[in-house]
Structure 1
């Protein structure tokens, strides 16, 4: 793959130095997430495959990295005033975790369809949950209005230099763990992880092929990148609830500059992969975190160049949903 020099907008995509600073904050509360070679996938695909196990982080996903970095950068006065965020669930867990660590009041707006395990987890961490919104985008509208009404920080789940710098620490760790990485598959919703990791990989390892993966029912980024402009996507039921929602022009910039390609998996492929991960690798993975492995297992990634790393992020799946998938596939 021919590398190119990205034209990053510095108001959207963080610098590598900012990510390195964020790494100091992240390492203060969690070790590097494990990178584990998958012998099963390696043998099946004929190329070396590794899994970056972000689902083992506190709160079960990469989201806690960015949330903690945001809270770490707030003033004492801002922390006392509190924060508000909108989330499909995992960002909310990350914000709630960081808010508890910094003794900051936190209000989370989530869609009523968010998995109960995520809503319960946020409340257990001490944050307030409002789940009156019909969907993810409606929850964001409510959260932004709350921030404006109370004059407090709104923590966007997918955008913000401090947030993306935190997410980019995944890539710094990866380059330390596997300098020879050839392809990285990144679970992609609004572009937070893609933007953070892309900021690092494009500058420090431009030879690495970056593949963003979504489900067909959470395809706002893929459709927009392919069209060259923001495309609205219908809100439909999906196993990948953590990737749901629309994107804006800033997120599109991330997709255009940070992904060599955007790929989609079907809901059936995703469901089968969640069940396969549980049975074969003993991993409990939600839909948003399983899209990367689904793309590999179902032949969605052409011309694999190894070593391949699939980011697996998100263990917060309701038991009832998991049991249904295990009985179906």
Structure 2
């Protein structure tokens, strides 16, 4: 088993504690078998529907666990976070549950549906940042200035412990799991799930998936050091942004493979999912399915689970993609 840095990746005991905290707040997300992909690939293919969580993604898990671990005084002061959208929704939802003020910095390019959702949950939104990385700089400065907790969207032992609960659920739902595909940006879900799977199910093949425009992790792992990656327009806005050395460690020790799909393949998959399942899936959540549909997973072993996380796609963008890819 790779050596997992305990300062970056949570212990399984911490993930179990997070699961106990979440038990009354969030039921396990469903898994469904996808008949067409199972037939095409010759193995059982399941979708883990994290997009059915209250805020539409897995992000609410880590956010809730962070808020649950704060003292009453810390909650009263409030929290601040940077987000491409879904982390912001998770923080806003968890903050509302605990009665804590929340300030979210998001890029001006964040989907309107995400910004509106954050505001509807009672959080304050600043969307002046040019991109995701600028939003993080602004949020960290706010936290230091006000002396309040900054909730990193991808790092932190308490955050990753919350994300790792997805893996605990999967091991209960699919005890003979052989392969899991995880949507990967800054490595929060990959790290949380990987920390669990490396200890409890080391034989499971863990595959991170990105888009060509959000491939900071894949490029950095391939190079063996953090690679500065330009921020460019993408359908997978939830996976956008740079990574740092901690995230690089996550990619190096938690992923057996890192796959990169094209934006065209991603757009086609979003339309296909909507046409065949009725689900509205944003780009960050559809990358795993795109990798399966377009043959990126070599010699797949089943049961195979693709995490599908993110339903917060602007309706106009979804309509455009459906028209572009009528089937």
Shorter-chain TM band? over 0.9
**Aligned position for 2:154:** 158
Alignment of 1:170-209 (within 5 A): 170-209=166-205
**Aligned position for 2:250:** 254
Does residue 271 of structure 2 align to residue 275 of structure 1?
yes
TM-score by length of 1: 0.98
**Aligned position for 1:105:** 101
**Aligned position for 1:18:** 14
Q: Structure 1 unaligned segments of length 5 or more: list them.
A: none
**Aligned position for 2:80:** 84
Report the CA distance between 1:145 and its aligned residue. 0.1
| Partner Cα distance (1:45, 1:26) in 2 | 34
1:318 to 314, 318, 324: 314
Report the CA distance between 1:44 and its aligned residue. 1.8
Q: Structure 2 unaligned segments of length 5 or more: list them.
A: none
Runs of 4+ in structure 1 off by over 2 angstroms are none
| Partner Cα distance (2:235, 2:22) in 1 | 29
Alignment of 1:1-329 (within 5 A): 5-329=1-325
Report the CA distance between 1:47 and its aligned residue. 1.3
| Partner Cα distance (2:41, 2:253) in 1 | 28
Secondary structure of the equivalent of 1:59? coil
The C-alpha deviation readout for 1:87-114, integer Å capped at 9, x for no partner, is 0000000000000000000000000000
| Partner Cα distance (2:198, 2:88) in 1 | 28
Secondary structure of the equivalent of 1:284? coil
Secondary structure of the equivalent of 1:139? helix
| Partner Cα distance (2:91, 2:21) in 1 | 14
The C-alpha deviation readout for 1:157-202, integer Å capped at 9, x for no partner, is 0000000000000000000000111100000000000000001000
The C-alpha deviation readout for 1:7-56, integer Å capped at 9, x for no partner, is 11111000000000000111121110001111111112211100000000
More displaced stretch, 298-307 vs 211-220: 298-307
Secondary structure of the equivalent of 2:39? helix
| Partner Cα distance (2:157, 2:12) in 1 | 11
TM-score by length of 2: 0.99
| Partner Cα distance (2:44, 2:174) in 1 | 12
Report the CA distance between 1:6 and its aligned residue. 2.0
What is the aligned residue count? 325
Q: What is the Cα-based RMSD across aligned positions, in Å?
A: 0.4
